[in-house]
């Protein structure tokens, strides 16, 4: 398998440390609000990666749930997102976390993302985080300010390795350091924040430095290394995490262990709206529930994501959802027809094996899902393969695509106006009377009204033009 590594900025052959268990850590949701479909695009890409790795190796997939410490601002000030959610809804921060996490898994499952082997919550790992900060303190990487314990990025020479020097120096020059800011360097970040003196936080813990809560970055380092060891094979997330969150994870983990933290950094590009960024805080976000309310099956969204490579931006629109709905329905129709024709005779042949290999090669080439999907279409349309061979291929392809290829397409939920329904009824009668001329005339009238009628063994089928 080849994977694009953000750290080297090129595609590399993927070589795990131990072929008996590949290790992968994915940054999980901050559970203070619904996940939007942009967040879920990232989880779909990570799921494709997990499924593709499992074709070759056993995988240990770990994901955290950020239920404390993710501040509204990346500059280590502003409120904790969990406490913002609690104030917004008049619930406790703990209840907010519970509610939105449950909702997250519902959405995650509805998109057929495979559950990680380990799901770990920040609030259950405070002791590990304190231990990691202590190690950093002992090694001289920390300093104290009036609001917390900070990491001194000037002590870690490779600080800009992940993101590239130009972008970090841009960040340094661009950062406005307020007079009151006690940070030594603009890129320094909080490892442990003290609870404010004038306000009681809902989530806070004792520590050797004072009552407070952990920084967001230390969460991921602590939990990733607890479950996967000092060096992970793969660490994933969205591209927005490269400059700060993941850069800081590298700095604190490598400073603490003296070992390389991650061998392959794999980042997914954003889902965007024509009007710009989809963001939770900006309120411009679409959720799986919104899609369902509009009549879309969640897997249509998965299909849409499969059509764009994970390293390219994908612009979301309802027009593209409509196109994806039709394509998925057509693909399923063809798959179901093959299954009906093949009956019980399905087994692998040299030909079906060759197409499976072609599909696998696409996925193993830096997760080229659009190509794998194109291979799938080629197979269903091919004259060279028998129905049984196609089914053998499709069963395999669906272990990766996970779009329910053999689901009987439900009759498209077409709202038929009364006049069109009357024409349909007349046409049915004309056909029973074998009046083909009248039947064709009515077909044209239905078409003129904006609907396409098809004759199937089950009777007339109607779709929108």
Which positions touch Zn ion (CB under 5 A)?
Answer: 27, 220
Which residues from 276-295 bind ligand AMP, rule CB under 6 A? 278
Binding at 278: pick from Zn ion, ligand AMP, none (beta carbon under 5-8 Å per type): ligand AMP
Contact stretch for ligand AMP (CB under 6 A) within 24-32, 94-102, 368-376, 406-414: 24-32
Binding at 220: pick from ligand AMP, Zn ion, none (beta carbon under 5-8 Å per type): Zn ion
Which residues from 143-172 bind ligand AMP, rule CB under 6 A? none
Rounded to the nearest whole angstrom, what is the least distance from the CB of residue 242 to ligand AMP in the complex? Answer: 9
| Chain centre to alpha carbon of residue 73 | 23
| Chain centre to alpha carbon of residue 458 | 39
Binding at 271: pick from Zn ion, ligand AMP, none (beta carbon under 5-8 Å per type): ligand AMP
Closest CA to 404 of 333, 342, 323: 333
* Residue 270 makes contact with ligand AMP by CB under 6 A: yes
* Residue 38 makes contact with ligand AMP by CB under 6 A: yes
CB closer to Zn ion out of 216 and 396: 216
Binding at 356: pick from ligand AMP, Zn ion, none (beta carbon under 5-8 Å per type): none
Rounded to the nearest whole angstrom, what is the least distance from the CB of residue 249 to Zn ion in the complex? Answer: 7
CB closer to ligand AMP out of 305 and 373: 305
**Contacts of residue 298, Cβ cutoff 8 Å, sequence gap at least 6:** 107, 110, 111, 288, 291, 292
Contact 230, 23 (CB under 8 A): no
**Per-residue x/- mask for ligand AMP, residues 42 to 61, rule CB under 6 A?**
x-------------------
CB closer to ligand AMP out of 4 and 355: 4
CB closer to Zn ion out of 235 and 390: 235
* Residue 30 makes contact with ligand AMP by CB under 6 A: yes
Binding at 148: pick from ligand AMP, Zn ion, none (beta carbon under 5-8 Å per type): none
Closest CA to 184 of 234, 149, 226, 132: 149
Binding at 155: pick from Zn ion, ligand AMP, none (beta carbon under 5-8 Å per type): none
Which residues from 64-83 bind ligand AMP, rule CB under 6 A? 66
CB closer to Zn ion out of 187 and 376: 187
* Residue 5 makes contact with ligand AMP by CB under 6 A: no
Binding at 298: pick from Zn ion, ligand AMP, none (beta carbon under 5-8 Å per type): none
Which residue has the CB atom at the shortest distance from ligand AMP? 238
The binder of ligand AMP chosen from 29, 69, 85, 298 (CB under 6 A): 29
Rounded to the nearest whole angstrom, what is the least distance from the CB of residue 147 to Zn ion in the complex? Answer: 22
The binder of ligand AMP chosen from 107, 238, 242, 248 (CB under 6 A): 238
Residues binding ligand AMP: number (CB under 6 A): 15
Contact stretch for ligand AMP (CB under 6 A) within 156-164, 237-245, 290-298, 450-458: 237-245
Q: Which residues bind ligand AMP (CB under 6 A)?
A: 27, 29-30, 38-39, 41-42, 66, 237-238, 240-241, 270-271, 278
């Amino acid at each position: 398998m080849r994977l694009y590594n953000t750290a080297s900025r090129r595609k590399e052959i993927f070589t795990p440390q131990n072929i008996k268990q590949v290790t992968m850590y994915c940054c999980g949701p901050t559970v203070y609000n619904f996940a939007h479909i942009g967040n879920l695009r990232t989880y779909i890409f990570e799921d494709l990666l997990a499924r593709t790795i499992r074709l070759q190796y056993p995988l240990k997939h770990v994901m955290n749930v950020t239920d404390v410490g993710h501040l509204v601002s990346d500059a280590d000030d502003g409120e904790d997102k969990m406490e913002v959610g609690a104030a917004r809804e008049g619930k406790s921060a703990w209840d907010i976390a519970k509610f939105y996490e449950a909702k997250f898994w519902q959405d995650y499952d509805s998109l057929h993302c495979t559950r990680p082997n380990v799901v770990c919550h920040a609030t259950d790992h405070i002791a590990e985080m304190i231990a990691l900060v202590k190690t950093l303190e002992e090694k001289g990487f920390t300093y104290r300010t009036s609001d917390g314990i900070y990491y001194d990025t000037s002590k870690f020479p490779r600080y800009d390795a992940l993101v590239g020097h130009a972008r970090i120096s841009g960040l340094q020059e661009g950062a406005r350091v307020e007079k009151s800011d006690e940070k030594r360097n603009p890129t320094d970040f909080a490892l442990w924040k003290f609870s404010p003196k004038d306000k009681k936080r809902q989530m806070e813990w004792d520590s050797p430095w004072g009552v407070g809560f952990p920084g967001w970055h230390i969460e991921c380092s602590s939990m990733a290394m607890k479950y996967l060891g000092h060096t992970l094979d793969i660490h994933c997330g969205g591209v927005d995490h490269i400059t700060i969150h993941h850069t800081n994870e590298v700095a604190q983990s490598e400073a603490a262990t003296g070992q390389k933290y991650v061998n392959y950094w794999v980042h997914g590009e954003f889902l965007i709206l024509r009007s710009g960024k989809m963001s939770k805080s900006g309120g411009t976000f679409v959720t799986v529930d919104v899609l369902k309310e509009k009549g879309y099956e969640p897997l249509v969204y998965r299909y849409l994501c499969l059509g764009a490579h994970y390293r390219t931006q994908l612009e979301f629109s309802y027009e593209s959802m409509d196109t994806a709905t039709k394509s998925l329905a057509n693909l399923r129709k063809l798959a179901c027809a093959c299954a009906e024709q093949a009956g019980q005779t399905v087994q692998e042949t040299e030909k079906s094996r060759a197409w499976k290999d072609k599909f696998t090669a696409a996925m193993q080439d830096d997760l080229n899902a659009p190509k794998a999907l194109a291979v799938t279409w080629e197979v269903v349309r091919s004259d060279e393969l028998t129905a049984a061979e196609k089914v053998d291929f499709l069963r395999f392809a669906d272990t990766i695509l996970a779009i329910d290829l053999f689901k009987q397409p439900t009759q498209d939920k077409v709202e038929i106006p009364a006049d069109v329904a009357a024409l349909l009824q007349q046409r049915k009668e004309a056909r029973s009377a074998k009046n083909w001329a009248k039947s064709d005339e009515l077909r044209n009238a239905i078409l003129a009204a904006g609907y396409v009628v098809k004759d199937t063994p089950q009777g007339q089928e109607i779709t929108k033009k």
